[in-house]
C-alpha cells in the first residue's frame, strides 16, 4: 500500500506574526508556485512548504520541509515607549472631530439606526443626548468597546480607561444639556441661514453653535431622504461668496457625509430593494456623474447598468458636481471601494450580472481616478474583488446555467477577461484549462452533430478569446494548445484538409479555404492548422494555381495576406 502524501503551504504575513496554514494540496508543483507568487506579490514575508507523509502503521504524518524562503524567523516588535499616557479625546470638544464622529457612528450604530440620526446630530441635540443617557446600557457598552483596545494600546488598566471615558461622556452630556437649556444654538432656517453664518463666522465656537442649529433644523425630518432635502435647502440658501460660504459647506458636509456613509441612509435614499451593485453604481454617479456620462458615451452598457438618479438624489448630484462638497464626493468613493473589498455579493443569485456590474463599476471608478481617488488604489480594489470571482463557490454557481462544456468554456473565458491581478488571472486560466482539457469537452466536440467546419470555427473563436483575455503567456499557451489538440482530433476524424485539397472546387477557392484554416481564422491553431498549411503549400506548387491567381488580381492580394497570416512567405 502506497503512502498518502500531501503538501502544506505555511505563510507569515508580517515579520512579527507566526506561521499560518495557507492551503494544502497533493500537487507539489502548484504548492511551490503559489508560495513563490505570494512572495513576489508581497502577500507574505515568508513561506514554508512541507511534505506530509502518512505512516500506515502509526497513522501519524511525518513532516519534511521542502521550501523555506523569506523572513522565516519572527521579529518580536519592540514596545514603543509611551510618551503620553493621555487618551486622544480628553475634552468634550475633541468628540466633534471627524475621526471621533466616525468612531461614535460605529460604536452606537444600532441605536443611531433605530433613531435615524447621525453622530453629528447626537452631539448637537439635547433631546437625543437625554434619550441616549436614559437608555442605560447603550452608553456603557460603547465605552467598554472603546476602552479595551485603548487600554491594550496604552498598556494601562481597562477600568482606568473606562473611568476616563466615562468622565468625558458625562462632561459632554452636561455641556450639551446646559447649552440646550440656555438656548445658545441658533434657530436656523433657509431664510436666515446666510445671516446666521455671517454673524457667527468669527466666533471661536462657530462650528459648535452652527452645528447645533443645523441639528435642530434636521430634527423636523422623519427619514433620511427628508434630512437630505433639508440640507440641500440650506445649501441653496448659502452665501455666494466669502468666508461665510466656505463655513456653510464645511458644516453641511458633516451630516451629509454621515448620512451617505450609513447603509440605512443610502438604501432609503436610493430606493429599497436594490442590490449592492446598483447602490454602488448610484454612489459613483453621485460622486462622479460627469465621469460616468463620459464613459457611457463610449460604452452604452455602463449607462444601462448604473442607474439614473432621480428626485432628491438627482438634486444632490447637482450639488456634488461643484467643488463645494468635494469631501463628500471623496467619502462616497472611499465607501464604494470599501464595499468592493468586502465579500458581499454585488448581484446575489446572478453571477453573470455580478461580472457585468463589476466591469461597469471599474470603468466608472477608473474614469473618476485622479481628482477623487488614486489610480493605484482603484487597481488594488478590483484585484481584491476579482479574487472572489475565481473561487470555487462563485465559479460553480456561475456555470450552473450553462449546459454544455463548450458554453462553460466560453463563460470561463469571459470571466478571465473581466478579472484583474496576476494571481486571479492565473486561477481563471486553471479553470479554463481544466474545462477544455476534460474528456467531456473532447467528447462533446467530437460527437456534436454540427459540421466539422462549424466546430472548428467555434474552436478558433474560443482560442482567439483566450488570447485576448490577458492571461500570462504560459497559461495562455497551455489553454490554446489544448483547444488546438481538440481541433486536430476533429479534423482527423473528418479528414477535412485532405477532402478540401482534392475537391472539385476551383483551385484558388480551395487555397483560400486552406489558408484561412492555417492562419487560425476558421480553425484553431495547432495540428489542424498545421495540416492545412501543408496542404496549402502543396496546392501552391500545383501548375494550375499560378495561372489562376494571375487571372484574378483581387484574389491574389487576398491570398498574399493570408499567406502572411499563416506564417508562409508571400
pLDDT at res. 344 = 87
Look up cell 450552473; give the residue: 400
Distance separating alpha carbons of residues 359 and 382, to the nearest angstrom: 10
Q: Does residue 432 contact residue 394 with C-beta atoms inside 8 Å?
A: no
- H/E segment holding residue 239: none
- CA-to-CA distance for 121 and 216, rounded, in angstroms? 8
Q: Note whether 120 and 258 are within 8 A (CB).
A: yes
CB atoms inside a 10 Å sphere around CB 285: 25
pLDDT tens digits along 234-271: 988 888 888 888 899 889 999 999 888 887 888 888 87
CB of 269 closer than 8 Å to CB of 312: yes
**pLDDT, the chain, mean:** 86
pLDDT at 15: 75
Q: Are strands 20-25 and 61-70 parallel, antiparallel or unpaired?
A: unpaired
Highest mean pLDDT among 53-62, 274-283, 462-471: 462-471
Q: What is the mean predicted confidence (pLDDT) over 544-561?
A: 76
Is 1 a residue whose pLDDT tops 60?
no
**Positive or negative CA dihedral for 147, 148, 154, 158?**
positive
pTM: 0.72
Q: How confident is the model over 410-441, as pLDDT tens digits?
A: 999 999 999 999 999 999 999 999 999 999 99
% of the chain with per-residue pLDDT over 90: 32
Q: How many Å from the N-terminal Cα to the C-terminal Cα in the chain?
A: 61
pLDDT, mean of residues 32-47: 86
CA–CA separation, 294 and 271 (whole Å):
25
CA 538-535-478 angle, to 5 degrees, is 135
Averaged pLDDT for residues 27-33: 86
- pLDDT value of residue 261: 84
The DSSP symbol for 401 reads: T
Q: How many CB atoms lie within 10 A of CB 244?
A: 19
Pull the grid cell for residue 547. Answer: 495561372
Asked if 277 and 347 touch (Cβ cutoff 8 Å), the reply is: yes
| Residue 503 pLDDT grade (very low, low, confident, very high; cuts 50, 70, 90) | confident
Contact yes or no for 102/96 (Cβ under 8 A): no
Q: Rounded mean pLDDT of 63-81?
A: 71
Please state, in angstroms and as integers, the Cα–Cα distance from residue 57 to each residue in 1, 3, 255, 484, following that order. 11, 10, 69, 47
At 391, the pLDDT band (50, 70, 90 cuts) reads very high
**Burial level of 28, CB count in 10 A (0-12/13-18/19+)?**
middle
Residues 419, 386 contacting (CB under 8 angstroms) = yes
Range picked from 329-333, 457-461, 537-541 for highest mean pLDDT: 457-461
* DSSP assignment letter at 94: G
What does the pLDDT look like over 125-150, one tens digit per residue? 999 999 888 877 888 888 888 888 87
pLDDT in tens, 82-111: 444 555 567 888 888 888 888 888 888 888
- pLDDT score recorded for residue 83: 46
Residue entry with cell 467555434: 458
The larger pLDDT score, comparing residue 147 to residue 272, is at: 147
pLDDT recorded at residue 467: 94
**According to the per-residue pLDDT averaged within each range, which of 273-287, 334-348, 455-469 is highest?**
455-469
Helix (H/G/I), strand (E/B), else coil: 263: helix
Is the four-CA dihedral 21, 22, 27, 33 of positive or negative sign?
A: negative
Instruction: Name the least confident of 117-126, 422-431, 507-516.
Output: 507-516
**What per-residue confidence (pLDDT) applies to 276?**
86
> Are the beta carbons of 221 and 255 closer than 8 angstroms?
no
Please tell me the least confidently modeled range out of 56-65, 430-439, 521-530.
56-65
Q: Name the region of 466 (left: φ>0; alpha: ψ -120 to 50; beta: rest).
A: alpha
Q: List the alpha helices (DSSP H) in 321-451.
A: 326-340, 351-368, 375-387, 392-398, 405-418, 422-436, 439-447
Amino acid at each position: 500500500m502506497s503512502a498518502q502524501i500531501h503538501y502544506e503551504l505555511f505563510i507569515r504575513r508580517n515579520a512579527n506574526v507566526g506561521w499560518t496554514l495557507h492551503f494544502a494540496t497533493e500537487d507539489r508543483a502548484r504548492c511551490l508556485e503559489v508560495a513563490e507568487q505570494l512572495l513576489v506579490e508581497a502577500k507574505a514575508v515568508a513561506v514554508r512548504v512541507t511534505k506530509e507523509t502518512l505512516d500506515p502503521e502509526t497513522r501519524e504524518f511525518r513532516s519534511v520541509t521542502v521550501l523555506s524562503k523569506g523572513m522565516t524567523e519572527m521579529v518580536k516588535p519592540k514596545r514603543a515607549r509611551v510618551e503620553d499616557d493621555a487618551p486622544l479625546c480628553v475634552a468634550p470638544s475633541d468628540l466633534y472631530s471627524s475621526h471621533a464622529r466616525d468612531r461614535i457612528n460605529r460604536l452606537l450604530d444600532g441605536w443611531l439606526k433605530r433613531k435615524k440620526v447621525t453622530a453629528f446630530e447626537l452631539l448637537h441635540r439635547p433631546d437625543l443626548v437625554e434619550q441616549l443617557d436614559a437608555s442605560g446600557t447603550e452608553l456603557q457598552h460603547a465605552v467598554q468597546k472603546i476602552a479595551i483596545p485603548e487600554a491594550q494600546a496604552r498598556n494601562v488598566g481597562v477600568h482606568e480607561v473606562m473611568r476616563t471615558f466615562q468622565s468625558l461622556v458625562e462632561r459632554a452630556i452636561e455641556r450639551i444639556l446646559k447649552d440646550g437649556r440656555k438656548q445658545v444654538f441658533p434657530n436656523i432656517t433657509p431664510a436666515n441661514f446666510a445671516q446666521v453664518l455671517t454673524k457667527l463666522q468669527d466666533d471661536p465656537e462657530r462650528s459648535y453653535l452652527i452645528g447645533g442649529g443645523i441639528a435642530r433644523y434636521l430634527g423636523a425630518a422623519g427619514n433620511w431622504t427628508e434630512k437630505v432635502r433639508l440640507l440641500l435647502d440650506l445649501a441653496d440658501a448659502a452665501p455666494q461668496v466669502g468666508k461665510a460660504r466656505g463655513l456653510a459647506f464645511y458644516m453641511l458636509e458633516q451630516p451629509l457625509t454621515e448620512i451617505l456613509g450609513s447603509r440605512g441612509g443610502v438604501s432609503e435614499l436610493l430606493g429599497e430593494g436594490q442590490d449592492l451593485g446598483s447602490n454602488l453604481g448610484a454612489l459613483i454617479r453621485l460622486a462622479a456623474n460627469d465621469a460616468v456620462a463620459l464613459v457611457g458615451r463610449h460604452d452604452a452598457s455602463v449607462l444601462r447598468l448604473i442607474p439614473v438618479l432621480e428626485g432628491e438624489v438627482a438634486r444632490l448630484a447637482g450639488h456634488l458636481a461643484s467643488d463645494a462638497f468635494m469631501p463628500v464626493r471623496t467619502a462616497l468613493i472611499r465607501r464604494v471601494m470599501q464595499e468592493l473589498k468586502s465579500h458581499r455579493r454585488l448581484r446575489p443569485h446572478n453571477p453573470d450580472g455580478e461580472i457585468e456590474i463589476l466591469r461597469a463599476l471599474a470603468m466608472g471608478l477608473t474614469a473618476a481616478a485622479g481628482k477623487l481617488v488614486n489610480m493605484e488604489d482603484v487597481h488594488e480594489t478590483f484585484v481584491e474583488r476579482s479574487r472572489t470571482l475565481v473561487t470555487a463557490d462563485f465559479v460553480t454557481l456561475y456555470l450552473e446555467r450553462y449546459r454544455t462544456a463548450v458554453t462553460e468554456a466560453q463563460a470561463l473565458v469571459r470571466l478571465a477577461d473581466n478579472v484583474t491581478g496576476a494571481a486571479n488571472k492565473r486561477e481563471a486560466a486553471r479553470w479554463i484549462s481544466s474545462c477544455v482539457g476534460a474528456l467531456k469537452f473532447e467528447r462533446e466536440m467530437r460527437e456534436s452533430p454540427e459540421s466539422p467546419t462549424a466546430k472548428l470555427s467555434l474552436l478558433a473563436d474560443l482560442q482567439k478569446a483566450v488570447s485576448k483575455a490577458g492571461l500570462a503567456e504560459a497559461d495562455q499557451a497551455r489553454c490554446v494548445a489544448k483547444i488546438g489538440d481538440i481541433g486536430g482530433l476533429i479534423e482527423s476524424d473528418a479528414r477535412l484538409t485532405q477532402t478540401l485539397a482534392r475537391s472539385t472546387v476551383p483551385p484558388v477557392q480551395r487555397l483560400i479555404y486552406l489558408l484561412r484554416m492555417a492562419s487560425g481564422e476558421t480553425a484553431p491553431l495547432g495540428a489542424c492548422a498545421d495540416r492545412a498549411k501543408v496542404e496549402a503549400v502543396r496546392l501552391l506548387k500545383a501548375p494550375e494555381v499560378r495561372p489562376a491567381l494571375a487571372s484574378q488580381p483581387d484574389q491574389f492580394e487576398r491570398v498574399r495576406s493570408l499567406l502572411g497570416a499563416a506564417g508562409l512567405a508571400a
